[in-house]
């Protein structure tokens, strides 16, 4: 793969995730400013992921037909509009509109992954998927810090900044990003909204179906930490928002270091499937032992295990899913995968809060462990070589 297009895609993802990170931490406070209840705030947060679940398969399918570049451009331009609406929001309905629009147009990451899949060999693909994960992590770490500083001006100010960054992103992508999908690889089937046949078609390949479900269960387990982990550390260690922010930043930093530097070499040595199995197993161990920890040292050890497990699993899953897809359907298959992970991000935090309130502080971790056990069993059954999958599909 030529280095220039790869790094332009990484820059596009990075800028987009800085904008996303700017908004997320202040969203509950912005909603409270308009009198939103906790339930409404939860629905507002979930609305973004729900729209992604519904529409990312459409964008992925469309990118297989018209190319990756126009979808990336439309997605980033949609981010520009959604953040602008966020900045001008004067009521809860307008906030919902901004987040639902962002989710509707949120095809950037899955289409960027498809772009990488189009442009890389099997051997180098996981490396670039890891770099996308690293760009994601760096952007998401910087965004909340910038958003916190800008919120001192007003709740709308971070939205205007995120909108400006997205506009810069549109200009850079328009002038610097070439198309990756060859004309002879493009699909000609009709594309429509709410066409769930794309899921059925993707799942005809049992390896893709299995890997997507591994991603789904893994994401539910990991995303329920967004609710459970801060409440656990607050209850046991008396940590507040600032200390939890440092812990999450620590998890993110480890992910950046591994995905940005080690993923490619590890995949060359061991292969994606082994890294997925190792990563899910580490997440399982980290999750189930967290409720019993009572010292800072053991907490940091377990968060390190969780961070490494996540950093190994995510890019390896994306890379292997793309390898099991045939040429020209990367957008469709990765869109379906992204759709299911978006649904998992709706379910995970809701489940974490629900089971914590009904069964106790330890149960989000234990039930997350059950999800990861299911993911591990499925991962062990996935074919070692993508060509086995292609033969099955044929």
The confidence score (pLDDT) of residue 208 equals 92
The angle, 0 to 180 degrees and rounded to 10, between the axes of the packed helices 363-381 and 272-289 is 160
Q: Is 90 helix (H, G, I), strand (E, B) or coil?
A: coil
CA 340 from centre of chain = 10
Q: Where in the chain is the domain with CATH 1.20.1250.20?
A: 1-175, 197-394
Look up the CATH architecture of domain 197-394: Up-down Bundle (1.20)
Residue 2 has a CB neighbour count (10 Å cut-off) of: 8
| pTM for this entry | 0.73
Question: pLDDT 10s digit of each residue in the chain, 394 long?
Answer: 455 566 778 888 888 878 877 776 677 778 878 888 766 776 787 788 888 888 877 887 788 888 888 998 999 899 899 999 999 998 999 999 999 998 888 877 778 878 888 877 777 777 777 777 777 777 767 777 777 778 778 888 888 988 998 899 899 889 988 887 777 666 665 555 556 667 777 888 889 999 999 999 999 998 887 767 877 888 899 887 567 767 877 887 887 888 777 777 888 888 899 999 999 999 999 999 999 999 999 999 999 999 899 889 988 998 899 888 876 677 778 878 888 888 898 888 778 877 887 888 899 899 999 999 999 999 998 876 665 444 444 4
The confidence score (pLDDT) of residue 365 equals 94
CATH code, 1-175? 1.20.1250.20
CB burial string 126-164: b at 16+ within 10 A, e below: bbbbbbbbbbbbbbbbebbebbeebbeeebbbbbbbbbe
pLDDT digits (tens, 9 = 90+) for 64-103: 888 888 998 999 899 899 999 999 998 999 999 999 998 8
How many Å apart are CA 76 and CA 78, to the nearest integer? Answer: 5
């Amino acid at each position: 793969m030529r280095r220039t297009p790869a790094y332009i895609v990484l820059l596009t993802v990075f800028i987009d995730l800085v904008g996303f990170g700017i908004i997320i931490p202040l969203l509950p406070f912005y909603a409270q400013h308009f009198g939103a209840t906790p339930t409404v705030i939860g629905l507002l947060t979930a609305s973004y992921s729900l729209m992604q679940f519904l529409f990312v398969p459409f964008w992925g399918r469309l990118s297989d037909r018209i190319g990756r570049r126009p979808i990336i451009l439309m997605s980033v331009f949609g981010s520009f509009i959604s953040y602008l609406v966020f900045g001008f929001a004067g009521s809860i309905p307008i906030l919902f509109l901004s987040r639902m629009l962002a989710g509707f147009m949120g095809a950037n990451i899955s289409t960027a992954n498809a772009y990488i899949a189009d442009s890389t060999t099997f051997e180098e693909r996981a490396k670039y998927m890891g770099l996308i994960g690293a760009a994601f992590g760096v952007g998401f770490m910087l965004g909340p810090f910038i958003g916190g500083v800008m919120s001192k001006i007003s709740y709308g100010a971070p939205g205007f900044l995120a909108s400006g960054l997205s506009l810069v992103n549109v200009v850079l992508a328009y002038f610097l990003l070439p198309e990756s999908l060859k004309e002879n690889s493009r699909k000609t089937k009709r594309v429509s909204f709410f066409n769930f046949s794309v899921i059925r078609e993707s799942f005809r390949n049992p390896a893709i179906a299995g890997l997507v479900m591994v991603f789904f269960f893994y994401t539910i387990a990991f995303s329920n930490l967004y609710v459970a982990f801060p409440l656990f550390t607050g209850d046991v260690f008396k940590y507040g928002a600032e200390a939890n922010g440092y812990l999450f930043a620590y998890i993110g930093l480890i992910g950046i270091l591994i995905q940005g530097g080690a993923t490619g070499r590890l995949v060359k040595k061991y292969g994606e499937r082994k890294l997925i199995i190792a990563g899910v197993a580490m997440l399982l161990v980290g999750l189930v032992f967290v409720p019993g920890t009572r010292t800072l040292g053991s907490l940091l050890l377990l968060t390190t295990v969780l961070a490494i497990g996540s950093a190994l699993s995510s890019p390896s899953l994306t890379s292997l899913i793309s390898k099991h897809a045939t040429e020209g359907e990367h957008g469709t298959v990765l869109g379906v995968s992204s759709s299911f992970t978006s649904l998992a991000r709706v379910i995970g935090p809701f489940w974490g809060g629900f089971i914590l309130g009904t069964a106790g502080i330890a149960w989000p971790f234990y039930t997350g462990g059950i999800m990861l056990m299911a993911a591990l069993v499925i991962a062990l059954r996935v074919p070692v070589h993508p060509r086995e999958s292609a033969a099955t599909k044929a």
